[in-house]
A and B are shown apart, each in its own frame.
Chain A
Amino acid sequence: MRFIFKTRYDQDINLFPHGGAVFWYSLLAVTLLSVPLIVTPFYVGELSFLFIWSLAGLSLMVLTGYTGLISIGHAAFLGIGAYVHAYLVRHGVPFIPAILCGGFAAAAAGLVIGIPAIRMRGLYLAIATLAFSAIAEEVFVRWETLTGGSRGVPVPKPQFLGIEIDNEIGFYYLCLAILVLCILGIVNLLRAPTGRAWIAIRDSEIAAQSMGVNLAGYKALAFAVSAFLAGIAGGLFAHKVGYLTPDIFTPILSIQLLMLVMVGGVGSIHGAIFGAIFLVLLPTVISIARDYLPAAIGQQPALEPGIYGLILVLVVLLEPLGLNGLWLKIKFFFSQFPMYKSATFKRQKTYMRTERLQ
């Protein structure tokens, strides 16, 4: 068992809680940097997909996991980022300004939704994001100069500092770098007053407000930051798929993102990564499972969304903290070895009647 003796206040906001964490994260960094030298390009491509999903999951995690605002329309932000980035890249704008513009365009859209969100409770907000994504879907089909309509648009290869990145390995490092930068940015935000305010809002709006947290400002900020990250993920995604059509950014993508956050574990950055790993592996698992299921079920195209729904339901019912919660429990079991009590993780019930008062 590890005891951390705190002798300085700074220790509360250290990036790494103890030396062991530094060791493991360095090991992870070395592994990730050397992976493309070892595995085949196919797996490198899958890993860059994983990084893009992680980034999208991180964006929803900021909003849902840390601020407690539900977005059922995150696909729209991804789509805005992807289309704006693709448009700019096609017109010769370099990679970095283009992807930042994509991010800022999504952030602006996030503010448009976020500002009314100030006045809305969680439920109304969820409905508003759903409506917003339905409108965005229609706009993607209609606005042909930007999106090429339902025919779609091709996305050129990324050009980074004048060098065209046309192989999987280069793109892998690009995605990895952007993901690490974004995670560091979010980790820093979360240990700063901004993140503390978000978490306070998530846990109780009334308490946060009485501690002097500006609810409106921080909620809108959470929306903007989340949409910005989603926009960046969208830009990378555009390069990854190479061709954008409006039917990529459908409600099912939003639901996949929600599933990512739920399965990974609400309220932790590890959760976003775990969820992304799960989501990348799932289609493979489903396609293997199809062979073992009876043909009447196994060959149905609707099997995949059905399994997504089932997983969502099971996670909510059985393990609301997701994979990250499971991981924490296992760690806790071994660190406390003979003394583990399952009651430690018992969830406190809050009856929703009181929420009406907020």
Chain B
Amino acid sequence: MHGGRSMAEFLQLLVNGLAVGCIYGLVALGFVLIYKAGEVVNFAQGEMMMLGAFVAFTFIVQFGLNYWIGLALAVVVMAAFGGLLDIVVVRRIIGQPQFSTVMLTIGLGVMMRSGASMVWGPETRGLPSPFDKTVLQIDGVVLSAVYLAILVTTALLCVFLLGFFRFTRVGLAMQAASQNQLAAYCMGIPVKRVLSSVWALSAGVATIAGVMLAPISLIDPNTGAIGLKAFAAAVIGGFGSIPGAVVGGILIGLIELFSGVYLPEGFKDTAAYIVLLAVLVVRPQGLFGAVGRKKV
């Protein structure tokens, strides 16, 4: 009996961890897209996710739109925001030391956080989802449909992105620009515009992550701190590999939930960072090592 219950608990944790991990993975994917394309590390990715969730909150709760329409509008709005951010701000510092880009994106993140707190208030907000009420029971394991929906959405989004990068002109242009900007430019690819569309894409992905996160952990202007956990995911994945980011996110999500249950109090919030530091010390190129360290 006892074994059965802990088995059920284990399965539940597994699904929840996978779901949370998928969200980390999607945010990490946003980092990786931007990093691969423009060598800019976007420390504001978590904040973009938070903003996306709030924009969706405005459309769905405040304007009372249909969930899917609201989600789609939020993705469009945030994609435009991401693209504009690149055109207006980030593009100006390309060619300057990495330090500048780090400072710039940190500054942007702080501004987004404070802006969100000014517009939507510092309270925590819930975002209803069509899967809220549904609960699946399989062999005594109670699974909330919200978590399953996250898994399915992430899988669909990954397939979509894979197809996008492989079969569309824009996707191929993004790949080319991320491999060699000069060569891409010589082949007639408008590199600047492609970089801006990468920002737009990444903001869109972050929005979807934010909307999925909202039902399982309420959103407030500080939700963007998840960005740090997504960093852990990206580093584990090798900071340059898109599948690596998603797998890294899932690992972080699982580690976090399991350490919350099986380890002493306090480890749940720090487990991701401890794993991050451990990976950086032991295997800085990440578990998947897409971008190896070249030696001169």
Contacts and interface: CB of A to CB of B under 8 A. Distances in A.
A119 B282 CA distance: 10
Interface in A301-318: 301-306, 308-313, 315-317
Interface in B83-116: 89, 92-100, 102-104, 106-115
B294 interface: yes
Given A124-B284, A130-B228, A320-B96, A116 B110 contact: no
A13 to B, nearest CB: 27
A131 B277 contact: yes
Size range of the interface on B? 35 or more
Interface string B65-99: 00000000000000000000000010011111111
Size category of the A interface is 35 or more
Interface stretch (B54-62, B135-143, B268-276): B268-276
Contacts of A312: 103-104, 106-107, 110
Contact of A352 (B95, B106, B232, B281): B95
Given A116-B280, A131-B228, A313 B114 contact: no
B238 to A, nearest CB: 11
A330 interface: no
Nearest to B278: A116
Interface stretch (A64-72, A91-99, A230-238): A64-72
Interface in A102-158: 116, 119-124, 126-128, 130-132, 134-135, 138, 141-142
A351 B94 CA distance: 7
Contacts of B106: 72, 255, 258, 309, 312
Contacts of A135: 270, 273-274, 277
Interface string A73-93: 000000000000000000000
Contact of B280 (A120, A252, A315): A120
A353 B102 contact: no
Contact of B98 (A252, A306, A352): A352
Contacts of A252: 110
Contacts, number: 159
B118 interface: yes
B231 A302 contact: no
A58 interface: no
Contacts of B294: 356-358
B98 A355 contact: yes
B221 A317 contact: no
Contacts of A351: 94-95
B153 to A, nearest CB: 27
Contacts of A2: none
Contacts of A119: 280-281, 284
Contacts of A302: 113-115, 117-118, 122, 221
Given A138-B266, A317-B89, A353-B181, A128 B103 contact: no
Nearest to A130: B228
Per DSSP, chain A at the interface is helix
Given A116-B281, A351-B95, A300 B104 contact: no
Most buried by A among B94, B96, B272: B96
A8 interface: no
B255 interface: no
A305 B113 contact: yes
A227 interface: no
A122 B98 contact: yes
Interface of B: 39, 41, 43, 89, 92-100, 102-104, 106-115, 117-118, 122, 180-182, 221, 228, 231-232, 235, 239, 265-266, 269-270, 272-274, 276-277, 280-281, 284, 291, 293-294, 296
By Cβ-Cβ distance, the 3 closest A-B pairs, closest first, are A306-B114, A312-B107, A309-B110
13 contacts: A120-B284, A123-B102, A127-B231, A131-B228, A132-B277, A135-B270, A135-B273, A258-B106, A301-B122, A302-B115, A306-B110, A309-B112, A349-B96
